[in-house]
Amino acid sequence: MDPLTLVVGLALVVVVAYLVGAPLLRAEPESPDLEPEWREEEELETRREAVFTTLGEIEFDYQMGKLSQGDYESLSREYKRQAVQVLQEEEKEMEGPVAPGGSIEAEIEKEIEAEIARELAQIRQQKG
Amino acid sequence: MVDVGYLAILLGLCVSVYAAVATVTGARQGNERILRSARGGAASAAILASVAGVILVYFLVTSNFRILYVWQYTSSDLPAFYKFSALWAGNAGSLLLWVWVLSIYWAIVANSRRFQERLAIPYVSAILAINSVFFFFLLAFVENPFALVPGGVTPAEGNGLNPLLQNPGMVFHPVTLYLGYVGFAIPYAYAMGALITRQVDDLWIKVTRRWTIIAWLFLTLGNLYGAQWAYVELGWGGYWGWDPVENASFIPWLTGTAFLHSVMVQERKDMLKTWNMLLIIITYALTIFGTFLVRSGVVTSVHAFAGSALGPYLLGFMGLMLIFSLYLLVDRLKLLQEGREFESYLSKEASFLVNNLLLVGAAFATFWGTIFPLISEAVRGVKVTVGPPYFEQVDGPILLAMLFVLGVCPLIAWQKANWKNLRESFSLPLASAVVFAIILVFAVPGADWRAVSGFAVAFFVLATIFLEFFRGVRVRARMTGERALTALGRLVWRNRRRYGGYMVHLGVVMIAFAVVGSTFFMHEVTRTVNAGEVITVGDYALTYQGMDYRQEGRNTVYFANLAVKKGTRDLGVVRPEKVEYANWPEMSSEVAIMGSLKEDLYVILSGWGNYGREATIEVHVNPLVSWLWIGGYVLVLGTILAVWPGRDRTLGVRYASASTPRGWISEENDRGV
């Protein structure tokens, strides 16, 4: 066996031993990726995006004629309710001061308008 | 360095075994240290496979004929490009490439930080580790790529690469195919992880969506590159011959396509959960089965590898994985209760189901036709041949129906379509398809009714796609006040997943036009001519001007000169060739193709005599073939658009029932119950 083969072979064994063995010798590692807070935050963000995406798509599909009037109204109402719920949870998470007199609702309304697009507002304006 | 290569394989086998055991142990004990060590094992396997791969490539490129594999598949005068591609010219090298790709995928999955706990990544990782163990085992003990030439001698020259493999198509075809085959192991592993941990909500589908689409893209490309290679290299005039090995990659493509579509129904409607599990298990098993067909030597094909001892191992592994997967599926069946049922046969979800049944039907028909000769030989001792007529008669109508459904799916409403919706969506495409068919009947008298139907259905789908874009732009422009072009750009970019999908459909329609056109309107003439004589095919007139030859390295290239005219227009000279290789017993054909968007003039030199004063020339006029490749590019672009990263790319929208709405974000789903 030539020296180069020996050196490279040993290097391989050392690298593998390090990658596999080192974690076993270390103290119980913290797992930041499994922190509950992190998870909750991500889940809330995912839920938020999902619900607003859904609202946007419901509107678009309705306009494209792929949802009946009844389905559209029902789905739209349900997902707006869920949007309110998610935003309220976010509000709680942030532990910000609760504004008196229905300001949360106003804030939520504003968020919804921004997320499901300006176009919806236009239609509403057109409808008067 | 030979020893280092083999050591890398042995170490790869050991760490894969270790990682498989450690991930399960770590997950069961909740021991993060063991889990991290197992992740280190996955990374090690990727490094080791890379080391082995790089060493073999080095030996190939430097023509180290002491290595049996290098001697078998290369020669010193082979261009460097093909020396490199010889990595996948034989069983051992291509298995090494397989494990290389697999171990990199595995390392990515095992070390992905997202959803570590939710998706039971350790179990996903364990499944991939088992795959890795199997392929490292094959390399270590069945097909060692670092085996030396017997007797310890170093031959002065190599055997050379099969001339048929010396084509760019053959460089990309196997790689893309492997990327596709191995890619489907990822959603399969996630599915098994979901079953093992009983977290059978649709999060595994969302997480693997991109993996699935990319695997599907590569499998599609693999099939298309294979077709292109067959077209330009095999010299029989076509691109698809329903060869067992072609079918071996086409069958998982069919079930993979079905899976790709049916998961959308689960995402949106919380349905078809068991079906999706079954589809991914079948697709995964078929990728192994395809490998078995190609490598076991049980079928005779220009595409197949020489017979080897691999067959029983591959079949055994596939059987074990199938038994394991199906047991798991049956055991967890209660967890896979459907969230809801079909509300109407006239709905998008129903059309998806029909699409699935057609795809799986085509897969089964193709599978049966492919394995029937093997079964017949095993049972009756008689090897029957199942040729293109069977596949064309059985698969043709199914694929045509599938094409029609492909036009229906995007336009039809979720949940329950009403007649008004159907009328508005389909009147125009249907009417235009009928008009197109009528024009075709008059423009091409005597056209085969199957061709007219095929074109009409393809045109119908094309019209639905354009209508979908048109309506989308109109709605967006109305809602936002944007100009049409701006609306189009933003519509597509902000709904990449949806419009990327439509682009893929557009690519499929182009391919369908090409297939129908080239199948039913192809002209073919074979003639032996003397110098000065003319061969007439369709509008083309080819005048044979005689034979010539040139030297290319140690190879001699013989070619015929044929002046081409179309009507009164001179199109130049085509030169179909035969190449005589210094180190290969048979000559190979290099066809001459004069292509356009309308048709290819495809010329083959079959032979010559009388010192080249006469030659036998085969001439094909293949309509629309260019659209096969253009459709492929459109399909690639659409797929890239659909998986392009960005907000909402991993989010699906769930359309719950209008009467009992339920979002995928509900507590019940979120806990993965």
For chain A, helix (H) and strand (E) counts, in that order, are: 5, 0
pLDDT digit string, tens, across residues B104-114: 999 999 887 66
Using a CB-CB cut-off of 8 Å, the residues of chain B touching A50 are 651-653, 663-665
**Structure tokens, B183:** 């890619």
pLDDT greater than 50 at residue B669: no
| Closest-CA distance of chain B to residue A100, Å | 29
Given a contact cutoff of 8 angstroms between Cβ atoms, the answer to whether A5 and B1 are in contact is yes
pLDDT digit string, tens, across residues B112-168: 766 555 557 889 999 999 999 999 999 999 999 999 998 878 888 888 888 888 887
Supply the pLDDT for residue A126. 60
CB contact under 8 A, A23 and B416: no
pLDDT greater than 60 at residue A38: no
CB contact under 8 A, A16 and B11: yes
Mutate to test the interface with B, among A57, A66, A73, A124 (most CBs of B within 10 A): A66
Closest chain A CA to residue B36: A23
Supply the pLDDT for residue A28. 65
Task: Give the count of Cβ contacts less than 8 A between chain A and B.
Answer: 149
Q: How far apart are CA B594 and CA B596, in angstroms?
A: 7
| Closest-CA distance of chain B to residue A102, Å | 26
Give phi and psi for B408, each to the nearest 5: -75, -45
Residue type, B574: V
CB contact under 8 A, A16 and B51: no
Residues 6+ apart with CB under 8 A from B553: B77, B582
Rounded average pLDDT over B379-406 = 87
Half-sphere exposure for B171 (CA within 13 Å, toward CB): 10
Half-sphere exposure for B85 (CA within 13 Å, toward CB): 22
- What's the mean per-residue pLDDT of chain A? 74
Using a CB-CB cut-off of 8 Å, the residues of chain B touching A20 are 15, 18, 37, 40-41, 44
Closest chain A CA to residue B471: A64
Using a CB-CB cut-off of 8 Å, the residues of chain A touching B4 are 5, 8-9, 12
Closest chain B CA to residue A36: B117
Residue B15 has its nearest CB partner, among A16, A23, A49, at: A16
Q: Is B619 helix (H, G, I), strand (E, B) or coil?
A: strand
| Closest-CA distance of chain A to residue B34, Å | 6
Would you give the distance in Å from CA B342 to the centre of its chain?
Answer: 31
Sorted by where each begins, the domain ranges of chain B are: 1-160, 167-333+352-394, 418-520+629-647, 523-623
Quote the ipTM score.
0.78
Would you give the distance in Å from CA A69 to the centre of its chain?
Answer: 29
Supply the pLDDT for residue B425. 82
Q: How far apart are CA A71 and CA B378, in angstroms?
A: 57
Given a contact cutoff of 8 angstroms between Cβ atoms, the answer to whether B39 and A29 are in contact is no
| Closest-CA distance of chain A to residue B412, Å | 6
pLDDT digit string, tens, across residues B322-356: 999 999 999 998 888 766 677 777 788 888 889 99
Q: How far apart are CA A4 and CA A10, in angstroms?
A: 10
CATH number of B523-623: 2.60.98
Mutate to test the interface with A, among B17, B29, B37 (most CBs of A within 10 A): B37
Q: How far apart are CA B258 and CA B266, in angstroms?
A: 13
Residue B654 has its nearest CB partner, among A15, A54, A120, at: A54
pLDDT greater than 80 at residue B662: no
Given a contact cutoff of 8 angstroms between Cβ atoms, the answer to whether B256 and B223 are in contact is no
Using a CB-CB cut-off of 8 Å, the residues of chain A touching B659 are 74
Q: Can you point out the beta strands (E) in B362-517? A: none
pLDDT greater than 70 at residue A123: no
Q: How far apart are CA B428 and CA B75, in angstroms?
A: 60
Rounded average pLDDT over A29-45 = 57
Q: How far apart are CA B502 and CA A6, in angstroms?
A: 56
Supply the pLDDT for residue A34. 47
Beta bridge partners, B552, equal: B555
| Closest-CA distance of chain B to residue A74, Å | 6
What does R_g of chain B's alpha carbons equal in angstroms? 27
Report DSSP state, residue B568: T
Name the residue with higher pLDDT: A88 or B41.
Answer: B41
pLDDT digit string, tens, across residues B506-530: 999 999 999 999 999 999 999 999 9
Using a CB-CB cut-off of 8 Å, the residues of chain B touching A12 are 4, 7-8, 11, 48, 51
**Structure tokens, B90:** 């034989």
By DSSP bridging, strand B555-566 and strand B588-590 are unpaired
Beta bridge partners, B555, equal: B552
**Structure tokens, B558:** 């013989």
Closest chain B CA to residue A26: B33
Rounded average pLDDT over B521-543 = 93
Residue B4 has its nearest CB partner, among A5, A53, A75, at: A5
User: Could you tell me which of B351, B324, B330 has the C-alpha nearest to residue B422?
Assistant: B351
pLDDT greater than 80 at residue A10: yes
pLDDT digit string, tens, across residues B415-431: 777 777 788 888 999 99
Q: Is B594 helix (H, G, I), strand (E, B) or coil?
A: strand
Cα distances from B140 to residues B107, B136, B146, B149, B155, in angstroms, run 21, 6, 9, 17, 24
Supply the pLDDT for residue B399. 92
